[in-house]
Amino acid sequence: MATRHLSVLLEAGVDLPKALGTISRQAQSEKFRSILTDLGRDIRRGDRFSVALQTYPQAFSELYVAMISAGEESGKLVETLRILADEMEKQHRLQSRVRGAMMYPAVVMFAMVAIGIAMFVFVVPQLESVFGDLAVQLPIQTRLIFWLSHALLAQWYFFLAGAVGVLALVRFAWTSDRGKSTRDAIFMRAPMIRQLVREISSAQMARTLSSLVSAGVPIVRALEITSRVVGSMQFRTSLQEAARMVEKGRPIHETLAQHPKVYPPLVVEMAAVGEESGKFSEVFADLAAFYEQEVEQRTQTLSTIIEPVLMIVIGVVVGFFVISMMQPMYSMIGTL
């Protein structure tokens, strides 16, 4: 929103430092307000906008800085800001769709685990005391539930350490390069999500490349920046290789074709069309829109599939617990 407002103010003739000051007064985040104020001060001191942005990498990505730099050099800063705002909005919409699709199963799994722990801590000990008073022979599944309850109560620190270990492993898989490589290797082989991962990364790559090229960034530089923006390590490695090969004079589509397990055939074909027609930016913008629509449809399909699967899992767990608790009672009634 700040980028879009900045383009509107600049187009209306407001100078850049004053426009940044106006937007800073509207910002809800105190930290972002401070950054915008400092940017205005740096520009009044004589710094270029793109140079001032580099001081705040936590707020402005390399993609953002590169596009602003290209806009300044071409004299089309307002148009570049408008393109940036549009592309950031589309990227945000794509990420929101994916997060939204994963939110439901995550909430259900968290609730199931929390309720299960509460049952083992508060309910199962009460039932065990009742069965102990009745002196009935307990089936193996009932004894297993009572054993798990004892273990959770007596050695809770082991379970807590295990939960912390799982969270640390997930964090490692999403933050470190080695963890990302392992995660991507697993995702790219998983039958249910392999195609979704390729389409998300393809949409992100096509959208970023299209934005950079349309802003006037040289193609080699655009490939290098895109390699650091995409989340998939396999896409990142292949784009870094593509930048080196294109710098030596090879066409982009030939370098992408060398990674058939990473790029869908449509990406390679559209890259060839864009290079041959001289409309690479427009072709990749259309490609990004296509894959974003594919991601939306696929996430909806996955959500439709995951929902009944979760219901079955919950039904099996609840059914196992109920049978384990009811069977001793039926056995006792039978002996009477």
Domains of the chain, earliest start first: 2-87 (1.20.81.30), 88-114+156-336 (1.20.81.30)
Q: What is the pLDDT of residue 243?
A: 92
Global pTM value = 0.74
pLDDT digit string, tens, across residues 100-135: 777 888 888 888 888 988 888 888 888 888 777 766
In the prediction, which pLDDT does 148 show?
87
Pick the more confident residue, 11 or 87. 11
> Which H or E run contains 138?
none
Least confident of 97-101, 133-137, 270-274, 326-330: 133-137
DSSP secondary structure string for all residues of 221-261: HHHHHHHHHSS-HHHHHHHHHHHHHHHTT--HHHHHHT-TT
Question: Helices marked H in the chain — which ranges?
Answer: 2-11, 16-26, 30-44, 49-53, 62-74, 77-118, 124-134, 140-154, 156-175, 177-187, 194-214, 219-229, 233-247, 252-257, 265-277, 280-335
pLDDT in tens, 236-254: 889 999 999 999 989 999 9
Q: Which of 96, 82, 76 is nearest to 8 (CA)?
A: 82
Which of the four pLDDT bands, split at 50, 70 and 90, describes residue 332?
low
Contacts of residue 20, defined as CB under 8 A and 6 or more positions apart, other chains included, come to 6, 36, 37, 39, 40, 43
The tens digit of pLDDT for each residue in 193-239 reads: 888 888 888 998 998 888 888 888 889 988 988 888 887 888 888 99
Query: What per-residue confidence (pLDDT) applies to 244?
Result: 92
DSSP structural state of residue 263: S
Task: State the average pLDDT over residues 159-180.
Answer: 83
pLDDT band at 334 (very low <50, low <70, confident <90, very high): low
Report the alpha-carbon distance of residue 284 to residue 200 in Å, rounded: 14
Mean pLDDT over 174-199 rounds to 80
| pLDDT tens readout for residues 51-92 | 999 989 888 988 888 888 888 888 888 988 998 888 888 888
Q: Rounded to 5 degrees, what angle do the CA atoms 172, 176, 182 make? A: 75
For the chain, give the longest Cα–Cα distance: 94
pLDDT tens digits, one per residue of 263-306: 989 999 999 999 999 899 999 999 999 998 888 888 888 878 88
The answer to whether the beta carbons of residues 239 and 259 sit under 8 Å apart is no
- DSSP label at residue 168: H
Residue 165: exposed, middle, or buried by beta-carbon count in 10 A (0-12, 13-18, 19+)?
exposed
pLDDT of residue 143: 86
- Indicate whether 336 pLDDT > 70: no
The confidence band for 155, taking pLDDT boundaries of 50, 70 and 90, is confident
User: Are 81 and 70 spatial neighbours (Cβ–Cβ below 8 Å)?
Assistant: no
Contact (Cβ atoms closer than 8 angstroms) between residue 299 and residue 96: no
Distances 40 to 5, 23, 54 between C-alpha atoms, Å:
15, 11, 14
Nearest to residue 270, comparing CAs of 243, 83, 197, 257? 257
Could you tell me which residues come within 8 angstroms of residue 102 by beta carbon, excluding any fewer than 6 positions away?
Answer: none
Q: What is the pLDDT of residue 49?
A: 92
